[in-house]
Amino acid sequence: MTVLVTGGAGYIGSHMVLALAEAGENVVVIDNLSTGFSNFIPDGVPLFIGDVSDENLVEGVIAAHHVDSIIHFAGSVVVPESMRDPLGYYRNNAMATRNLLNVAVRCNIPRFIFSSTAAVYGNPDHMPVVEEAPTRPLSPYGMSKLMAEIMLHDVATAHGMSYVVLRYFNVAGADPLARVGLATAGATHLLKIAVEAATGQRAKIDVFGTDYPTPDGTCVRDFVHVSDLVQAHRAALGYLSNGGPSTTWNCGYGRGYSVFEVIEAVRRVSGRNFAVQQADRRPGDIMTMIADTRRIHSAVAWAPQYDNLETIAAHALAWEEKLLQERRQGEGRVATG
Ligand code: UDP
């Protein structure tokens, strides 16, 4: 029996594939490599390059590899980009998921795990936010993920599929052995920007808003290490295999850190004192976003190993240094070649 990981060459998907392969599970990947990298896939794991909306491709992979579970990461994930290109987001996140579900139903796939996001909540009334909170996305990104959640729910009800929706909070860090990490060009996430500053690739980091009514005036987020996040997916697979009913889980640590705290953590672990500049608030930013994690912890034995901001920062930094070194070696080869 095999797990199909869509988007398995991307940031989170590649960590998932490594974890499954290490655990001795059969795994197969579909990825169109729009933001992923084929060299992130370990030897022995089949990679099919194509879109999850390509029903013939997906059906062929499911049949050839005896797929019985799907973990669906493939999609677009940049909030500001979704504001500029809403139709692209509805295509990649909503319509593509609809096609994938169509094939999953046709092939009687019993288990489906879906990557969703805390962005489905919009600006919650209460913090930490519980899964039952109203869903009021502020961006096409959040809306497109919510649409996929709704489709999954309806399909599961009609066709007897079981699912777990994982709503991610701020995913950060990298594989502790630095085999994979966030490599997508133009990433805008805070920790990525901070480690780029710490490694001298940026002159400074802008802090978007220092006048929020929070303890230090900056926004607060619940950062979850990518390796812990993928273990939550493994726990979800086990939960469904044991007959657990369809459900939705927040996936964070339930603790918030401010933008300034993140920057300080990166300064400490790197030993480098890069420039920090106060800037205007970024439109659409939510002030505080922290997960209420009681539901996941009551359903499965998920034991995060890297629930520590400095550890997350250190792993992000080690990965960034590796990327930088590889890039310099590549440039050296071009210069001398
Ligand atoms: N942020 C910042 N400077 C940056 C990037 C991000 O001050 O260069 C802030 C951003 O305004 C937000 C927080 O860091 O308050 C987290 O942003 P990120 O884009 O990492 O994730 P989001 O919570 O928006 O999904």
Cα 299 to middle of ligand 1, angstroms: 30
Please state the domain extents for the chain.
2-175+223-251, 190-218+255-292+306-336
Ligand 1 atom with minimal separation from the 194 CA: 8
Ligand 1 atom with minimal separation from the 279 CA: 7
Contact 107, 59 (CB under 8 A): yes
User: What type of residue is 272?
Assistant: R
pLDDT band at 284 (very low <50, low <70, confident <90, very high): confident
Cα 279 to middle of ligand 1, angstroms: 12
Tokens found for residue 5: 């990981």
pLDDT of residue 79: 87
pLDDT of residue 337: 47
Q: Whose CA is nearest to atom 1 of ligand 1?
A: 190
Measured CA to CA, the distance from residue 153 to residue 247 in angstroms comes to 9
| Structure confidence by residue, pLDDT tens digits, 61-88 | 999 999 999 999 999 998 889 999 999 9
Task: Judge whether residue 104 has pLDDT over 90.
Answer: yes
Average pLDDT estimate for 215-235: 98
Nearest in space to 102 (alpha carbons), one of 142, 158, 48: 158
3-state secondary structure (DSSP) of residue 8? coil
Q: Which of 208, 212, 263 to mutate to test the pocket of ligand 1 (most atoms within 8 A of CB)?
A: 208
Cα 172 to middle of ligand 1, angstroms: 12
Task: Judge whether residue 260 has pLDDT over 80.
Answer: yes
* Mean pLDDT, the chain, whole residue set: 96
Average pLDDT estimate for 297-319: 98
User: What type of residue is 252?
Assistant: G
| Structure confidence by residue, pLDDT tens digits, 7-63 | 999 999 999 999 999 999 999 999 999 999 999 999 999 999 999 999 999 999 999
Q: Which long-range contacts (CB under 8 A, 24 or more apart) does 303-309 make?
A: 303/231, 304/224, 304/225, 304/228, 304/231, 304/253, 305/225, 305/227, 305/228, 305/231, 306/173, 306/176, 306/225, 306/227, 306/228, 307/225, 307/228, 307/253, 307/255, 309/223, 309/257, 309/261, 309/262, 309/265
pLDDT-wise least confident of 10-24, 211-225, 320-334: 320-334
Centroid of chain to Cα 232: 12
Measured CA to CA, the distance from residue 324 to residue 116 in angstroms comes to 30
* Full DSSP string of 285-329: --SEE-B--HHHHHHS----S---HHHHHHHHHHHHHHHHHHHHH
Report the percentage of the chain scoring pLDDT > 70.
99
Cα 91 to middle of ligand 1, angstroms: 25
Residue 247 parent element (H or E)? strand 247-251
pLDDT band at 149 (very low <50, low <70, confident <90, very high): very high
Task: Judge whether residue 329 has pLDDT over 50.
Answer: yes
Cα 40 to middle of ligand 1, angstroms: 26
pLDDT of residue 65: 98
First to last CA, the chain: 47
Average pLDDT estimate for 304-318: 98
Tokens found for residue 283: 């439109």
* Active site positions, annotated: 141
Q: Does domain 2-175+223-251 have CATH number 3.30.160.110?
A: no
Task: Judge whether residue 334 has pLDDT over 70.
Answer: no
Average pLDDT estimate for 178-194: 92
Tokens found for residue 268: 């400490």
Question: What pTM was computed for the model?
Answer: 0.96
User: Cis peptide before 134, with omega less than 30 degrees from 0?
Assistant: no
Ligand 1 atom with minimal separation from the 219 CA: 15
Ligand 1 atom with minimal separation from the 208 CA: 7
3-state secondary structure (DSSP) of residue 330? helix
Q: Whose CA is nearest to atom 6 of ligand 1?
A: 190
Measured CA to CA, the distance from residue 106 to residue 104 in angstroms comes to 6
Cα 186 to middle of ligand 1, angstroms: 14
Residue with tokens 């920090």: 276
Superfamily (CATH H level) for 190-218+255-292+306-336: UDP-galactose 4-epimerase, domain 1 (3.90.25.10)
pLDDT of residue 139: 92
pLDDT band at 336 (very low <50, low <70, confident <90, very high): low
Q: Which of 11, 83, 138, 221 to mutate to test the pocket of ligand 1 (most atoms within 8 A of CB)?
A: 221
Measured CA to CA, the distance from residue 190 to residue 286 in angstroms comes to 14
Tokens found for residue 289: 């976003």
Q: Which of 226, 259, 262, 309 to mutate to test the pocket of ligand 1 (most atoms within 8 A of CB)?
A: 259
Tokens found for residue 22: 């290490």
Show the ligand 1 pocket: residues with CB < 6 angstroms. Answer: 170, 188-190, 193, 205-208, 219, 221, 259, 282, 285
Task: Judge whether residue 135 has pLDDT over 80.
Answer: yes
3-state secondary structure (DSSP) of residue 91? helix
